[in-house]
Structure 1
Amino acid sequence: MAPAAKADTSEQYRFLQGCGVMGALISKHNWNDTPLGSIDTWPASLKVLLSTSLKAAVPMVLMWGDDLTFFYNDAYRPILGNEGKHPSVLGTKAENVWPEGWAHVKPLLDQVYTLGASVTFQDTLVPVYRDGKMQDVYWSFGYSPARDEDGNIRGIFIVCDETTQRVTKLHNVVERTGSPIVIYKGEELIIEEINQAALDQWQVRREDIVGKPFTEALPEMKDQSFPELLLNVYRTGETYYGYEVPTHFRRSNGEIETVYYNFEYSPYKEANGNTSGVIGVAIDVTKSVVAGKATEAALLESEQRFRTTFECAAVGIAELALDGTWRLINDRLCSIVGYSREELLSRTFQDITHPDDLDEDLWYVQQLLEGAMNSYVLKKRYLHRDGSTVWINLTCSVVRDAAGKPRHFVSVIEDITQQQEAEERLRASERKLRDSEASFRQLADAMPQLVWVAEVDGHTSYYNSRVSEFAGARMQEDGSWLWQGMMHPEDLDRTDKAWTQAIATGQDYVVEHRVKMADGQYRWFLSRAYPFRDENGKVLKWFGTATNIDDQKKQEHVLEQKVAERTKELEQLNRALALSNQELEQFAYVASHDLQEPLRKIKAFGDMLANNYKEQLGTSGADLVGRMQNASTRMSTLIEDVLSFSRISSRKEAPELVDTTLVLKETIQDLETAIFEKNAMIVQEPLQPIVGSKHQMRQLFQNLLSNALKFSKGDVQPVISITSKVVAGKDAGFKNQQPRPDEMYQLIEVKDNGIGFEPQYAGKIFQIFQRLHGRSEYEGSGVGLAIVQKVVMNHGGMIEAESSAGEGALFRMLFPLAQKNT
């Protein structure tokens, strides 16, 4: 590559300093053979204009003198093409530079020379020859007169820009678009560009309308509103939207056809921001308009849905102008920042952004405008109307027009103040937790137990200072501890299974095991660990202790030995008791048989004396014989009662589910004669079933009812009630006995209105052979209530009696409640 040309630094070339490559080329050019002559003869006006144009960053050309000698700057060089014209055209006549386009350019130059007024053109087609071929090139340029020191026009000053790429791209976009698109230029609304869709809609040919004013191409439009609308957009630069606007076309057959359009007229702007025309985009909605109210209702519903979604959204939604002005906002955004809709619409987002967050936000906005990104998400702060700070999560997107230019921003604002405050509280809690952890370690080291902490996966992460008392504990590189070496081999598997199960289920860990101490001895410890959970129940850590229970285990061992010895003694006593019961049952049988046999003979002989020797015995003899017979009868009854009591005490029957209501009913039937003789009234409630012996329950009811009938008042009708209810042990109301508080029982009460007894005898009446009345007053052996008590005890229950003399008696019996599946 050749070195770049350097500008001459002599005084006469000073005006070319800093003028780039073209300045250097001008200083080296041989001007003596040109109409301008040597540089030192050039007028000051030429040097000033030339220096100005050469330093410009935009493409500029200066044509000077009658021959229009051609100068251009560095920015203009690419326009000359990659081959041929640069730098050979420097200093030549202008008509030699672009001879192929001179016919277009010359009239414009003459106009500037003649009138002395500047002219500008946008996207003008001027064909040129470059890169070895003719090319259609579009230009936007301005021609201005270049004057000398006396104010005379000596040349043309041109600022130009090639817009071929943009115009071509626009033409392609317009042509590919399926909707009708037309570009109108200037006040005359010259049709500069029209796509095939528009040609089809208008039913015209391109060559018949391009380059003509709108109303000349379509005369029927003169009396319609479109020319006025287009001119208003062109003059004001404000976009106009039309919806379902009827458009009347005169077709080739002379008939008028009405077509309905939704259309947009938007200003067509040049790179410098000036409006040079209008772009019209239309959509044929004739079918939907003709469809009528159904479509209109659907559109209205769609709009309403959008509005409802917009206004009822749980987050703030806004549309903002490119300068940050709020243009469209919903109620939620107003509530977030505390401003009314009117107040917020008169402000910008910059006005309510926290100063510390504004620069970052503006940087992102600039990235959107430059096209570096389409959206961004930012956590920032707004200033609430009451002066407080509101934390928000901002999602901002840029909306661009068809040309890709930013039109406005759409922002979604989520109030995360509570979340942010929660995070602050969490950080504060973490700091507090760290402080608490230090306190915990101090407290743990002061405890007499081994204290430890394990992570959620079960690895031990902390031991207090007591760990030094144990053998084999060591910390690994990751900070966790190994403890298997501390365990007694016989306890290791059991301990590991218990810990594994606790980790898997989240249940408490409790295990007793032997641990090796620093002195080499194993000692018993009770290890416990409880899971620490978060508010959702998830296990976060395990906190555990190991308590030395070696002394207790030794005591337990001694106690177990004593229990084993005592158990052996009790087994021997039980065997002896069983043998004794067996002997007692044999004795009872023998006693019953051997004692009853003499009594039967005594009674039989007494009957013979009373019947066969009545006259010989006389009155006193008959009385003695009667007494002898009564005594033998009582003795026989006593023997039977003792035998019954013995059998209840010694004989164990297989338990069954006893229908106590039925047993009571049968017992009442057995006592029917006695009940009738006493004119007694029995009040009976249904009873709960009992697991036990049906025979024994019959004996219980028979003895209680017989006693109630026996000890009734002679002048009062006996009333006996049998009631039942289910109660908890703590609510049973027993005075001298304590049932299990939480166990459920059936409470059966048998109450009469008989003679009763003194309260001090309430405990004695259940003793065998205990009588409170003489035999002359009331019959009986004194065994009946002893049998009742024995039956209750055999069924796992308890009994109490309550009475006062002359007030009747109440017997309260408590039986374990039978399970429903028994």
Structure 2
Amino acid sequence: MPAGVDPATDAEDARRFVARSEASSWSVVLEIPRDLYRAPQVNAAIALVIAILGATLAGVLGGLLASRRLGRAVAALAITPCPVTRMPDITEIAAVRQLLEENVARREAAEAARRESEQRFRATFEQAAVGIALVAPDGHWLRMNRKLCDIVGYTPDELLTKTFRDITHPDDLESDLRSMQQTLAGEIDAYSMEKRYIRKDGRLVWINLTVALVWRPDRRPDYFIAVIEDIQRRKETEAALRASEATLKEAQRRAGIGNWRWDLRTGDHVWSDEIYRIYRRDPDLPPAVYPEVQTYFAPDSWARLAAAVEGCVASGEPYECDAEVVRADGTHRWIVARGEATRDAKGAVVELHGTVQDITERKQAADALRELNASLEQRVELRTAELTAANKDLDSFAYSVSHDLRAPLRAMSGFSQALLEDYRDKLGDEAKVYLDQIGIASRKMGELIEGILALSRVTRGELQRETIDLSALADRILADLRRAEPDRAIRVDIEPGMSVFGDARMIEAVMLNLLDNAWKYTARTPAPVIRVRAGDVAGRRGICVSDNGAGFDMAHADKLFQPFRRLHRQDEFPGIGIGLTTVQRIIRRHGGEIHAQAAPGQGATFCFTLASESEAG
């Protein structure tokens, strides 16, 4: 700037200066270019920057060298140095390094313990014998182990979409929710309950649930820990036990049996409900002790029972004793008391146990039976006398039939035959027919008399039972029928080896009537067949006689065994209608039954049974 120029007054702006002359009125204006005007300032700034950069670079280089040394020392604190590594000779660094090494060791030990604990928890959680689950406060499943999935039948992914409410039986849900709310409210720490889950397949499963709540540090509920034990089998066992106990009580009630136990060491007595009922003792009272029981018995009965009980205590031998009970209301009952002893390891009797059974009805029935037997003996004697008298009357009737009726019949038959012989030439044809009818009627009457006598004989007399060769008997009877009618061509089929046990005379009458009927009713059959075979009759072994003859309508089968009732006309098949009645009575006397099966024109089959030798004995 020119000398003598004041920038404050002489400079018009930052780069123009005005100089006035004192000798004249001229003024000189000097304008400095911008670059020249600012050059000193720029140079000074550049120098300052260079100085700062130099100082900074020197500081950085020095700091870098120092930091590298310090970094190597600090880095050495974080690693385990090799034995040959020379540690820095800095006491503070060495102390820090020692502290860091101890912290690392503790951290590694803690980490290992944490991993071991986590593995142990995971193994315990997954392999537990009970179900374990973590449940959110809103009831959603958060985590569950394999056992819980097995219990409810759902997979873990399926359970994660549900809440515990979804699988809890409706009847058990209210109690579970109430306990859950009490836990969330801090009223209780945990709760346990038995409830039912609904499995995926729809079946119910009983479980025992134990629940505890985990809290966050800020005392907000975090999650529930639930332990679920499958108790379905136990519940089923308990139900079966209750049913068994109920059945036992009902059986004891129906049978009038009560059980008791007496501990000789403590004097304690235990009675079942039925004993209270038998003695009519108030169920609210304890069981009566041994001396007090005496008040429930008649004196003579108590003497016998007390002796039996004391003998069991002394020797350990069981006892059984009938006794008369006298209740407080004066009613009398009869019981049978049974007892056995229990010994300890040393062989001493320490307990008695047994039963008391009400046998009043049995006693009454036995007394009634004795009275009935006594009266029956009298009635049997009376009946025997009446039967003897009836048999005598029947014998008298048979004698009358045999003599008093046969004599007039013989006279009628004889005189009609004499008329035909002596006056045949003088009698007209009509008179001869009348005399023939008289002879026929007389013979029929004789047959009826024989039938009545035969029927009366089968109901009297003692049976003389023996083993009878029925095959041989049938063969002999059919051979006799063939000899009587040699012109008949009939096929006979008799099963060999058949035998029965009975009265030979009567069984022969049975087979004679049945085979004679088969022979008679196949007379008009083109190819007649008679069969005698063993067969099953209402589940019992029997004998069947069948033919392919005329047969009959089963609608009239009820008339078969009625005396003098016939299913065919006399002109078709003659007979008096007494044979099957005789057969039925003989078979019934032998403890058997006879049945018939037939159809018109298709033959008939008669099957009968007889009591076996063991049954007859």
Which has the larger strand fraction?
1
Which has the larger helix fraction?
2
Q: TM-score, normalised by structure 2?
A: 0.48
Q: TM-score, normalised by structure 1?
A: 0.37
